[in-house]
Amino acid sequence: MTYFGHGEKFGVHIEYSMEDRPMGTIAPLKLLKDLPENFLTMNGDILTDIDFMDLYDYHIKSGALATVGCYQRRVDIDFGVMEIRDNEVIGFREKPHQDYSVSMGVYVFNKKILEYVPEQRPFGFDDLMLKLLEEKQRINAYLFKGYWMDIGRPGDFEKANQDMAEGVFVV
């Protein structure tokens, strides 16, 4: 609020919603008045060049309650991995990696998701995904191949700074 104020110097209007206690990443959406039928929300600690309009249009065309921006992320294991059955080594992989589709922290929601969010208690993105899956509601994945870093993680923060310095990512 100190930096952005109410958005005047940026030519936008910013309203703030204050929590009296931590409510997770999704529950605070219930505090917002007059949400449009579909809306974009994102974590504040990401750096990306995603085309937000393309994501939004993809969500609208899908008719899903939720669309999650997803990114292919490689996880390296720093050890030799033993596969063991009945105390016998039956396989071995030296420092393998696994690729996962991870949430980017960028979402488009239909406001009907609020029906699945409980009143006055913490409720996060993980809770919402599990609830929508349990209720067999449609969740779309928007598979993104551009630039994305979770700069809330020290390693990603360092990489993002390096990428900016080298011109890989330009603000």
What is the pLDDT averaged over residues 10-25?
Answer: 90
Query: Taking the model in full, what pTM does it have?
Result: 0.85
Pairing between β-strand 97-110 and β-strand 66-76 as defined by DSSP bridges: antiparallel
Residue 164 has a CB neighbour count (10 Å cut-off) of: 13
Residues 113 and 30: beta-carbon distance below 8 Å? no
- The confidence score (pLDDT) of residue 26 equals 96
DSSP 146: S
CA atoms within 13 A on the CB side of 44: 1
Q: Where is pLDDT greater, at 80 or 15?
A: 80
Mind listing the pLDDT tens digit for each residue in 44-91? Answer: 999 999 999 999 999 999 999 999 999 999 999 999 999 999 999 999
CA distance to 74, 80, 108, 130, per residue, from 23 (Å): 30, 40, 20, 17
CATH number of 18-162: 3.90.550.10
Tokens of residue 15, six digits: 């309203």
Tell me the pLDDT band of 133, cut-offs 50, 70 and 90.
Answer: very high
pLDDT at 18: 85
Are 113 and 65 contacting, i.e. CB atoms less than 8 angstroms apart? yes
